[in-house]
Amino acid sequence: MRRLMPVFVASDGRDPVAPPPGLEAGILLRDLDLLTLVRRAGSIQAPIALDLDSVEGLNPDPTAARFVIEELGVDLVVTRRPTVALRAVELGRSALLHVLAFDSTGLARSLEGHPGTPGVGTIVSPGPVLDHLLAPDLQRLPRPLVAYGFIDTPERAAGLLRYADAVVVPPACALLMARGTLPADAGAVVGRG
């Protein structure tokens, strides 16, 4: 078992990235091309999450999941495709099914395809929608639960960690968070192998 980082710093990989000192965090690579992914993955010294659907030049399928896990060392695969998430779990890593929650019907439709398998959690965009969900809706979201998008202040991140196991923040927010603290119970346990 490996502990899910309570914070992921979002990066497009164009510049070298690392969690700020003092912040327990991983890196979420997204919106990058395959060459940048290969170059950055080898230089990151923190747990790596990858939004596989957003890598230009890489078809987000089960074969791509195998490649990024076995060849690049990606720890956590983010995808909208249940078959890709399941492949990541088969390979001994965890996955997050990306759920777009712009309204309650979008949330429900996105969850219909969730495999509900141990090792496949949920990443919800935009993250602040978690503040507005009713308790039964929150309980339906398979864990671990990650809030993603529109989280730009440490206060918003800390507030969302009341519901989520982790948050994705931009680098500037991560720097501010490194100066403060996160709740002691932040960070869920995720399976590995």
Residue 4 belongs to what H/E stretch? none
pLDDT of residue 183: 54
Q: Compute CA 130 distance to the chain's CA centroid, rounded to the nearest angstrom.
A: 15
Cβ atoms within 10 Å, residue 45: 8
Range of the domain at 170: 2-190
pLDDT of residue 46: 96
CATH number (domain holding residue 122): 3.20.20.70
Q: How many structural domains are present in the chain?
A: 1
Prediction pTM value = 0.91
pLDDT of residue 188: 58
The residues of the chain scoring below 50 in pLDDT are 1, 191-193
pLDDT of residue 187: 54
Find out whether the peptide bond into 154 is cis, omega within 30 degrees of 0. no
